[in-house]
Structure 1
């Protein structure tokens, strides 16, 4: 008798099971929207599917009468630029900080408590300080992502470095490797795929900081648009934007996972791919 924990669905079955919750949620929304609109055709809380189509056409495929730009495209590009810059800076800083923290005991003794304390500071609490220091421009938004994400990646990578097999480090030293050589030839190649995993896991957090910063101070961006139209209860615009942000986050997660798998096949050896 096979145990439930040992049963594996086929790929078509897994695909259907993965899509099923989305289909159920969509059907529930359609039914609830029809009920509310039947009672009040002007209800804005649950717009009809046709309202979403009209809103997407207006935002994405019709130039703005005021600026002549396609607002959906401009908002997406602005947000992706901020997110990409913030995550890239966070990844580089985390790599430069985490390896010494995990590899060199004296560095760990001096800086590890400080990094741990910094990681506990709520980034949103210091957003006003960032606006005061960097102004209301792009720098403050990127800085919020960096400050919010970098400590999380640092602590994860530090732990990964400390978990490296001691036998590898001893053998590298026996073969005459210096600390610098071992860092470059032994530690860095094993930590880099873990860095990509850490970036994947923190993308959701980075999106939260980005949307929050754009909601407070921006003239374009996905978060800016959502909070701009909320005063008009424009759910036909808000919900497509939320879905688009979710799709972008899912796409980035998938691409990073595929890049990691194809570039560092040894890293995923023995793991079950999802």
Structure 2
């Protein structure tokens, strides 16, 4: 215990340090509408104006304050990506463990996942978002879940297979423990590293899909303030005011990288022959 406790503390400190940019962005996104110096839909300068006193990051294609739209445009994107990551990780974890504990059913689960993976991602986004009544963010989130679960199921099933065949799991099954007990108490605690890393990857994937949907004019629509939408709207004037595109790009990139690094740092280290279990 005296050896592992400092290691756990260092791991938590490292995770907190890596998560600092994401936490800062989330805080700014939550408080952004209150801190924005101008209304997000009101022109304050001429289109693609350079940074100045009235607009610290310049203006967008309609002369609206880029800083105000940046502060107000992250909440919906972060919430959507977080919801996608939670749903995909929870669904894939349940199906992956079920596939490992019930091999006969697992073969059908993995075959269904393989068939879904064959569907091109961009085509799937368009099909689901355009067929969804009203479209919008909910349609994009549904597309992200449909696309993310098959990949995640394969990862969890591969990690859960060796655990499900371990002696203590077989002993619990032979002792009459039901499927719920085997899943929650025997298999899941040994998949913390995989599930945590998977959550980070799915969050980044959620940000990626929401951003791609914005480029395809799906999901958020003008005049809504959204980081991904800001990139598409202002791409034509990137040489006039680079901040109109660079600021939301930087925010999305920092958010994705920070969450991934934090999830990696929080994941418990795999035991080695020199490390006692």
Q: TM-score, normalised by structure 2?
A: 0.66
- 1:242 corresponds in structure 2 to 249
What is residue 261 of structure 2 aligned with on the other side? 254
Residue of structure 1 in register with 2:93 after alignment: 95
Aligned length: 213
- Say which structure, 1 or 2, has more relative contact order (CA 8 Å, 6+ apart): 2
Structure (1 or 2) with the larger CA radius of gyration? 1
Q: Deviations over 1:54-99 (max 9, x none)?
A: 8982369xxx986999210111112111111111111121122211
CA 1:179–1:128: 2 relative to 1, 3 Å: closer
The CA distance in 2 between the partners of 1:56 and 1:113, in whole Å, is: 54
Aligned match of 1:31: none
- What is the SS of the residue equivalent to 2:119? coil
In the alignment, what sits opposite 1:132?
Answer: 130
TM-score, normalised relative to structure 1: 0.67
Alpha-carbon spacing, 1:182–1:145, altered in 2? closer, same or farther (3 Å)? same
Q: Which residue of structure 1 lines up, in the alignment, with residue 74 of structure 2?
A: 76
Structure 2 gaps of 5+ residues are: 1-49
Cross-structure match for 1:221? 226
Equivalent-residue separation in structure 2 for 1:230 and 1:183 (angstroms):
48
Instruction: Please tell me whether residue 119 in structure 1 is matched to residue 128 in structure 2.
Output: no
Cα offset, 1:53, TM superposition: 8.7
Provide the residue aligned with 1:105 in structure 2: 103
Correspondence list, 1:191-210, <5 A: 191-210=191-210
1:177 corresponds in structure 2 to 177
Distance 1:149 1:55 in 2: 42
Say what the alpha-carbon RMSD is for the aligned residues: 3.1
- Where do 5+ consecutive residues of structure 1 fail to align? 1-50, 262-266
Give the whole-Å Cα distance in 1 for the aligned partners of 2:271 and 2:142: 36
